[in-house]
Amino acid sequence: MKTKLNRRDADRKLAQKIEVIHKKFPTYGYRRVKEFLKQEGEEVNHKRVRRVMTEFNLFAHTPRAFRNTTQSRHSHARYRNELDGQEITRTNQAWGSDITYIRNRGRFYYLAIILDLYSRKVIGWSIGPAINQELTLSALMNAIKHRNPGPGCIHHSDQGVQYCAESYIDALKAHSFIISMSRAGNPYDNSIVERFMKTLKYEEVYMKTYNDFEDLVRNVADFIVIYNKARLHSSLGYLSPIKYENKNRANFRIGV
């Protein structure tokens, strides 16, 4: 009996730790939870984590489907998918970009994001009340200032008008990007950025109601900091974007 009580007490303590993790990352399943615990010094196998999560009803939340913000009916030139067949082996080799909406208190705001596809790190972003070229250009300039990519970095996006517009294309050409776009109606071509948007929605946006636009901006900024520093990616060996870049400094390129 004593052994069973001790085990139950240990399981309860583990469940409390998992609850803390789920407050930050509610979409984490047992594999990511196990890796997070390991990095925090808690040695526990995945079978026990799965059992405790089941017994204490600590289930990962499944992201909702979200509205498509791509406005692809336009007369601007479109570009082929340059990521097809590419192996991403270093930073600043390829960036991914996208736009999503955030609804708060009956109003819609729009977030433009740019990720380094090597590390999944958010390197540029911008929020505004309108989905326009100013929004996407602001995110792009933010990323360029942060990363200083050299000629030949692939910039990948969908075929939305904001990314095909002359002002945006001119900015990409001025900084010697290789322009790449997803095939029409194929979200899998930009799946890494799509996954980030779903994570943002379910681990931040759907969890809160913001007081005003400034509060929304502050919270999204905080989320991006935590995402870059702490969110584990199975594709990165269960490291966060920053930890993955730090571990692979030999593959870090700025201005090359």
* Average of per-residue pLDDT across 167-188: 87
Among the listed residues 15, 40, 41, the one whose alpha carbon sits nearest the alpha carbon of residue 30: 15
* C-beta of residue 92 within 8 angstroms of C-beta of residue 149: yes
User: What integer best gives the mean pLDDT of the chain?
Assistant: 84
- The CA distance from 34 to 162, in Å, is 40
Taking only the tens place, the pLDDT of each residue in 105-151 is 889 999 999 999 999 999 999 999 998 889 999 999 999 999 999 99
Predicted confidence band of residue 2 (pLDDT cuts 50, 70, 90): very low
Q: How many other CB atoms are there within 10 angstroms of residue 183's CB atom?
A: 15
Predicted confidence band of residue 58 (pLDDT cuts 50, 70, 90): low
* Average of per-residue pLDDT across 213-228: 96
- 241 burial (CB, 10 Å; 0-12 / 13-18 / 19+) is buried
Taking only the tens place, the pLDDT of each residue in 31-44 is 777 777 777 778 78
Angle at CA 236, nearest 5°, toward 234 and 241? Answer: 115
- For domain 94-251, the CATH architecture is 2-Layer Sandwich (3.30)
Predicted confidence band of residue 183 (pLDDT cuts 50, 70, 90): confident
Question: What integer pLDDT is reported at residue 60 of this predicted model?
Answer: 62
Question: Given a cut of 50, is residue 1 above it in pLDDT?
Answer: no
Distance of CA 159 to CAs 74, 76, 111, 131, Å?
9, 9, 17, 14
Percent of residues, the chain, with pLDDT higher than 70: 84
Domain boundaries, the chain: 2-55, 94-251
- The CA distance from 124 to 119, in Å, is 14
39-59 b/e (C-beta count within 10 Å ≥ 16 → b): eeeeebeeeebeebbeeeebe
Question: Given a cut of 90, is residue 55 above it in pLDDT?
Answer: no
Percent of residues, the chain, with pLDDT higher than 90: 52
Question: Given a cut of 60, is residue 73 above it in pLDDT?
Answer: no
